[in-house]
Chains A and B, each alone.
Chain A
Amino acid sequence: MMMKRKVLMKRRYPSRLLCFLVCLAGANPAVLQERWNSLSGFVRDADSGEPLPYANVYLQESGRGGLTNQRGYFVIPKIPNGVYTIKISLLGYGSWEEEISLSGGDVIREVRLHSSPIEMGSVTKTAERERFEREVQISQIGLSLRQLQTAPALAEADVFRTVQLLPGVVGRSDFSSQLYVRGGTPDQNLVLLDGVTVYNPFHLGGVFSTFNVDAIKTLEFHSGGFPVEYGGRLSSVLSILNRDGNSHSWQGCGGVSLLSARGVLEGPIPGGSVLLALRRTYFDQLFKGTDFEFPYYFYDIQGKMHFDLSHAHRITLSGFYGDDVLDFEREGDAESVGVDLNWVWGNRTTSASWRWIAHPEFFSEIQITRSRFDNRLQTELETSAQAAVELANRITDWSGTADIHYLGLKNHAIKWGGSYSSLDFSYAFTLDQYPLFNYREKPRLAAGYIQDQWALTRTLRISPGLRMEYFSMGDRWQFSPRMGLQYHFRPDVALKAAVGNYYQYLATVASADQNFSIMDLWLPITARYQPQSATHVIAGIEWWLSSDLIMTVEGYHKSFRHLLELNENGEFANEDDDFFELDGRAYGAEILVKKSAGKLQGWLGYSYSLTQRTRDGQHYPPKHDRRHAFYGVTNWAFAPGWVLGAVYTFGSGLPYTPVLGKYMHYEWDQDQNVLRSELYDRWGDKNSARYPAYHRMDISIRRQGRLFGLQIMPYLQIINLFNRENVFFYYWDHESNPSRLTTVTMFPFLPTLGVDFAF
């Protein structure tokens, strides 16, 4: 579809000096004083008003162009007077074209693209391809809503489960959606929802992630070498942006799966739009009053609204509220004491952001956020009204961030900004209101960064950056220089490289050997320990085999220093032995072939990796050291309205510490004055054995149709189609003699079904 419009809008911005005051420093004022034209604006979806990131904007007669950023904004600076044809295109949308006359001044366009079927032989490029041609980016991948929704998953689509299928990412078991990225641990991943850090992004003890896929607009995952705007973590960044909401008409979607019922409603409000997403499990309600009462449920609510005060100003408010609730009551009898247990844990994030385009060439965003994780466990024993135990843990993170892009130079895209976080960690354990344990720390973290995307030649781009961080505990100042490089030795092929330093000031209290974790308990790293740090060195090739088919090959080396690992043998009151300080390294190679448009989409991935930890001079592989992994993820729209999805995963065996022998462990019972004995495991060297290889095949089929005016999409999914008995862990039962080995396996053959709808 081709549209032609002739609309001209000119606007002079007020004080340019003001821009400089706001933008702190950095650009040459002379640039703004010259009498050039600039063309800027937003590109949006014509149906929903959602901004379209990474659309190609091209000014035909000048041969210049650019990309929209993640907010759908573009600017082409310093255009001489004249008449030009502006062309805007993005795969999946009809292209847009307009003739404009520039004669001094800044011209603003608000462009709306209509979605359109993808035509064979189309010259329009995907957003990924556009970025490939114009940005330095390495170890970065975006996943579309279709890829998230059609990848078969337990009960319903899950962001983390899909990310686990990318090369370089290891999922340790079917029961956990935690991400181990290039030798890193889950606490080394920065998880952002609309720019807000989420500390425990899981439901049901990690089986599901907290994000409702229906509300997601874009997902970007950096598995390494991430740019200086991100910090505070060593391994990866997962940034999720929720949709703004439809600013033209009211619409909704939802679904019912075996896990939950969920719905999203969005629509216009004066000056903007609003989106509300709800999800709740329903088994507790379904079996209420029966013998099969289910004492657990979770819910989450996500909301977002924005107001466009003018073209230059947008205010966005967003929030996420989610809880897991375990409410369990058992009456006592002659043999056991009655218990009333109430356990609630969950995240609350809120943010307010102000997007200000002070000048077409300055794009700034200022955000104030609060992220809170609350965990409260209350137990009351029936024997006494006063016999109550309460465990409470809270993390509060108040942050302010400012990010400024300067886009006024032809060969540079400069970005700088800063952030300040006030953190509050508290843990309390009380018995009958008697405080047994009380811990509270309130550290502060500040950071500033500057980065340039610099096109040195038509084929060579570099991205130097520097990040500076201050952490109040121990008065730590750290500098993280980072550099990216992209060299196009053919238009379709680029050589890429990145190197950088990363620091982390928070750690989780988790045993490296545990197989299951309900939640992460975060702690700030005290002055007693050095901040955890890592250096990434990455090199690779990206090759576009066709307009929608990409192959990347990357190799990496990552060195870790001062990693903290919980010392489970540590003494309670001795703070010196709470953690082990480890060093480590990880290296490997990854291949990804990804098709991101057309009826058949998906990817094939392979990764080879070696991860090692070093403690007291001894080297050993951590639990997530998976040598080989292969992933095949595909969705195929094989007939109108039908989509078949399949995921195959192979992973070579993960390490575990084997039980070699057994010995009688004796203890003197001073109460009874007797010697008690129990058989204990005699362990071999740490993680010196490997579980059998992991295989799993999942499939799904979805059908789209209409019923009573609703668009409905029933689906059937089968997890572990071949019923492969993947080993979760081994357990030796010494109650029998000889001891008996029990193998605990992961998900069996598991069909689930559900239905999604939209109106």
Chain B
Amino acid sequence: MRFRGFITGLLLLLVACAETPQVTEFSYAPEINVFALLLLNNQQKIIHIEQSYPVTEVVPENRGIADARVTITSDNQAVPFSHLVNGLYVEAADVLQLMAGKKYRLQIVLSDGRQVRGECTIPHPPGITTPQPGIPVPAYTAVEIAWESKARAPRYQVSVRGNMFGFSAEVGTDSLHTTFYPFLLAQPDIYVLKVAALDANYHDYLRVAEDQPPLFRLQGALGVFGAMSHDEVILIAQ
């Protein structure tokens, strides 16, 4: 009798367990996605405007937003940007001067009235003090990298790229130090070592782990309006 009860119980549970897991569908309204970066060294301005998508939808090749009015303002200078292709916006004439320590404001107005605003300050470029250019360093050893700057940036990014064997690495440092962990130089080569200073917006945009809530510093959009400046030296590892 007990055994029969046990078997009946098992069969009832079998029915309960038969459900197939399903993920719930969620509704999501697409948002404006902006990537705007000012690069001090080559006076480059990258402005990309597109939209985000519900996770289940196809992302098209041409996803740029073409009908936005884009302006970057600094001091009393307001420079308009116009659409080139696939959401990429460029200056009509190369008039916007990028200067370290200066604040810039971005304004985007879409044809449907939605607006995006942001501001950033271009960080002072670092000056690499160690290693010194042209002085060979021993291969396979740790090299300490140090730099100085007129004003400390929120974050520095160190990258190294070898010419012959294609060794390449890029690592962010923390916000306080102006020295960096030694790089592991795998073999003798000629390397390009770059140290870049990042502004607070771009720093936050990059430092967020992929599965964590993002730190966007824009009003009205996902993404970033940030700035970078850098210094570089040639490093010979023997």
Question: How does the 8 Å CB contact mask read for B172-187 relative to A, with 1 for contact and 0 for none?
Answer: 0011110001101011
A64 vs chain B, min Cβ distance (A) = 42
Q: Which residues of A contact B174 (CB under 8 A)?
A: 571-574
Tell me the nearest residue of chain A to B29, going by C-beta: A661
* Closest Cβ neighbor of B184 among chain A residues: A387
**Would you give the 0/1 interface string for B2-42, flagging 1 where the beta carbon is closer than 8 Å to chain A?**
11001000100110111111111011101101010101000
* Contact A661–B211 (Cβ < 8 Å): no
Q: Are B52 and A682 in contact (CB under 8 A)?
A: yes
Closest to B206 in A: A667
Closest to A725 in B: B21
| A-contact 0/1 string along B150-192, CB 8 Å cutoff | 0000000101110000001010001111000110101100001
Judged by a CB distance under 8 angstroms, whether B92 is at the interface is: no
A722 lies within 8 A of B18 (CB): yes
Pick the residue among A386, A574, A662 that contacts B176 (CB under 8 A).
Answer: A574
Whether the Cβ atoms of A730 and B141 lie closer than 8 Å is no
Task: Say yes or no for A664: interface residue by CB 8 A criterion.
Answer: yes
CB-defined interface of B40-63 with A at 8 Å, one 1/0 digit per residue? 000000101010111111110001
How would residues 663 to 690 of chain A score, 1 for a CB under 8 Å from any chain B CB and 0 otherwise? 1101111111001000111111010010
- Is A305's beta carbon under 8 Å from chain B? no
User: Helix, strand, loop or mixed for chain A's interface?
Assistant: strand
Q: How many residues of B contact A (CB 8 A)?
A: 71
* Interface residue B124 (Cβ < 8 Å from any Cβ of A): no
Q: Do A569 and B181 have beta carbons less than 8 Å apart?
A: no
Which one of A571, A600, A670 has the greatest number of beta carbons of chain B within 10 Å? A670
CB-defined interface of B185-226 with A at 8 Å, one 1/0 digit per residue? 011000010101000000000111111111100000011000
User: Which residue of B is nearest A570, CB measured?
Assistant: B207
Chain B hits for A568, CB < 8 A: 209, 212
B123-155 to A contact mask, C-beta < 8 Å, 1/0: 000000000000000001110000000000000
User: Quick one: which of B2, B28, B58, B168 contacts A682, CB cutoff 8 A?
Assistant: B28
A661 with B28: CB separation less than 8 A? yes
Tell me if A660 counts as interface (CB < 8 A to partner B). yes
Q: A386-B141, A574-B175, A662-B52 are in contact. Are A638 and B208 (CB under 8 A)?
A: no
Q: Are the CB atoms of A436 and B39 closer together than 8 Å? A: no
A648's contact among B13, B212, B214, by CB below 8 Å, is which? B13
Residue A658, interface by CB 8 Å: yes
Nearest CB of A to B67, in Å: 19
* Interface bits A215-244 vs B (CB < 8 Å: 1, else 0): 000000000000000000000000000000
List the A side residues contacting B184 at CB < 8 Å.
381, 387, 431-432
- Cα distance, A684 to B27, chains bound together (Å): 10
Query: From A669, which residue of chain B is reached at the shortest CB distance?
Result: B170
User: Could you tell me the distance between the alpha carbons of A684 and B10 in the complex, rounded to whole angstroms?
Assistant: 39
A695 with B141: CB separation less than 8 A:
no
Q: From A690, which residue of chain B is reached at the shortest CB distance? A: B24
**Is A131 at the interface (CB under 8 A from chain B)?**
no
Q: Given contacts A384-B186, A387-B140, A724-B17, are A661 and B46 in contact (CB under 8 A)?
A: no
Q: Are B59 and A658 in contact (CB under 8 A)?
A: no
> Provided the pairs A669-B170, A689-B26 are in contact, do residues A727 and B175 lie with their beta carbons within 8 angstroms?
no
Q: CA–CA, A119 to B187, complex, Å?
A: 80
In the complex, which residues 185-223 of chain A have their Cβ closer than 8 Å to any Cβ of chain B?
A: none
Interface residue B230 (Cβ < 8 Å from any Cβ of A): yes
| Cβ–Cβ contact A682 & B55, under 8 A | yes
Q: How far is the CB of B124 from the nearest CB of chain A, in Å? A: 16
Indicate whether A738 sits within 8 Å of B16 (C-beta atoms), given known contacts A571-B175, A666-B35, A671-B159: no
B26 pairs with A660, CB closer than 8 A: yes
Compute how far the CA of A729 lies from the CA of B177 in the bound complex, rounded to whole angstroms.
Answer: 38
Which among B27, B213, B215 has the highest number of chain A CB atoms within 10 Å? Answer: B213
Contact B53 A661 (CB under 8 A): yes
Tell yes or no: A434 within 8 A of B by CB: yes
Residue A33 interfacial (CB < 8 Å): no
B25: min CB distance to chain A, Å:
10
**The one of B3, B21, B157, B207 that contacts A691, using a Cβ cutoff of 8 Å:** B21
- Determine if A569 and B17 form an interchain contact, defined as CB atoms under 8 angstroms apart: no
Q: Which of A431, A666, A741 contacts B181 (CB 8 A)?
A: A431
List of B residues within 8 angstroms of A697 by Cβ = 10, 13-14, 17
Complex: A670 Cα to B37 Cα, angstroms: 12
In the assembled complex, how far is the CB of residue A630 from the closest CB belonging to chain B, in whole angstroms? 10
Centre residue among A513, A638, A667, A672 by max chain B CB count within 10 A: A667
Return chain A residues, CB-CB under 8 Å to B161: 671-672
Residues of B within 8 A of A646 (CB): 6, 10
A624 to B69 Cα, complex, angstroms: 47
Question: Who on chain B is nearest to A650 by CB?
Answer: B16
Q: Do residues B140 and A384 form an inter-chain contact, with CB atoms below 8 A?
A: yes
Cβ–Cβ < 8 Å partners of B16 in chain A: 650, 695
Instruction: Indicate if the CB atoms of B59 and A737 lie closer than 8 Å.
Output: yes
**What is the bound-complex CA distance between A659 and B39, given in angstroms?**
32
**Is A396's CB within 8 Å of the partner chain B?**
no
B53: chain A residues within 8 A (beta carbon): 661-663
- For the complex, is A22 an interface residue (Cβ under 8 Å from B)? no
Q: A650-B16, A663-B52 known; A569 and B208 CB under 8 Å?
A: yes
Residue pair B142, A434 in contact (C-beta under 8 Å): yes
Interface assignment of B235: CB less than 8 Å from any CB of chain A: no
Tell me the complex Cα distance, A722–B181, Å.
53
Cα–Cα, bound, A309→B227 (Å): 77
Is residue A693 contacting chain B, with contact meaning CB distance below 8 A? yes
Q: Is B228 an interface residue (CB 8 A)?
A: yes
Q: List the B residue with the shortest CB-CB distance to A572.
A: B174
CB of A683 to closest CB in B, whole Å? 6
Measured CB to CB, the nearest residue on chain A to B139 is A384
Kindly report which residue of chain A lies nearest to residue B215, judged by CB atoms: A569
A271 at the interface (CB under 8 A from B): no
CB of A477 closer than 8 Å to a CB of B: no
Q: Does A663 lie within 8 Å of B33, measured CB to CB?
A: yes
How far does the Cβ of B187 sit from chain A's closest Cβ, in whole Å? 7
On chain A, the residues within 8 Å of B31 by CB distance are 661, 663, 682
In the complex, the answer to whether B22 meets A692 with C-beta atoms within 8 Å is yes
Report if A386-B56 is in contact (Cβ < 8 Å); known contacts: A569-B207, A684-B26: no
Enumerate chain B residues within 8 angstroms of A695, measured Cβ to Cβ. 13, 16-17, 19
Let me know if A739 and B228 touch, CB within 8 A.
Answer: no
C-alpha gap A737/B57 in the complex (Å) = 8
Question: Is A726 an interface position by the 8 A CB rule?
Answer: yes
Q: Is B182's CB under 8 angstroms from A431's CB? A: yes
A383 in contact (CB, < 8 A): yes
Cα separation A680 to B212 with both chains bound (whole Å): 11
Contacts of A662 on B, CB cut-off 8 Å?
52-55, 59
Closest beta carbon of chain A to B214's beta carbon, Å: 8
Q: A568 to B213, alpha carbons, bound, how many Å? A: 10
Which residues of the other chain, B, contact A600 by a CB distance below 8 angstroms? 2
Q: Does A743 interact with chain B (Cβ within 8 Å)? A: yes
- Are A636 and B2 in contact, with the CB atoms below 8 A? yes
Complex interface: chain A residues within 8 A of B52 (CB) = 661-664, 682
CB-nearest residue of chain B to A384? B140
Q: Residue A759 at the B interface, CB < 8 A? A: no
Question: Is A737 touching B26 in the complex (CB atoms < 8 A)?
Answer: no
Decide if B55 touches A569 in the complex (CB within 8 Å). no
Contact partners of A741 in chain B: CB under 8 A: 23
Question: Measured between alpha carbons, how far is A664 from B196 in the docked complex, in Å?
Answer: 23
Q: Are A436 and B215 in contact (CB under 8 A)?
A: no
> Is A732 part of the binding interface, using a Cβ–Cβ cutoff of 8 Å?
yes
* Contact between A660 and B140, CB atoms less than 8 A apart: no
Nearest chain B CB to A155's CB is how many angstroms away? Answer: 22
**Neighbour of A722 across the interface among B14, B21, B141, B142, CB < 8 A:** B14
Q: Once the chains are docked, how many angstroms separate the CA of A636 from the CA of B196?
A: 69
Q: A387-B186, A666-B48, A739-B55 are in contact. Are A692 and B21 (CB under 8 A)?
A: yes
8 contacts between A and B (CB under 8 A): A569-B212, A648-B13, A658-B26, A661-B30, A661-B55, A666-B48, A672-B161, A675-B46
Contacts beyond the supplied A697-B13, A738-B56: 7 A-B pairs with Cβ under 8 Å: A432-B182, A569-B207, A636-B2, A660-B26, A661-B53, A681-B211, A682-B55
The 9 A-B pairs of least Cβ separation, nearest first, read A573-B174, A663-B52, A660-B28, A572-B174, A666-B35, A722-B17, A692-B21, A671-B159, A724-B17
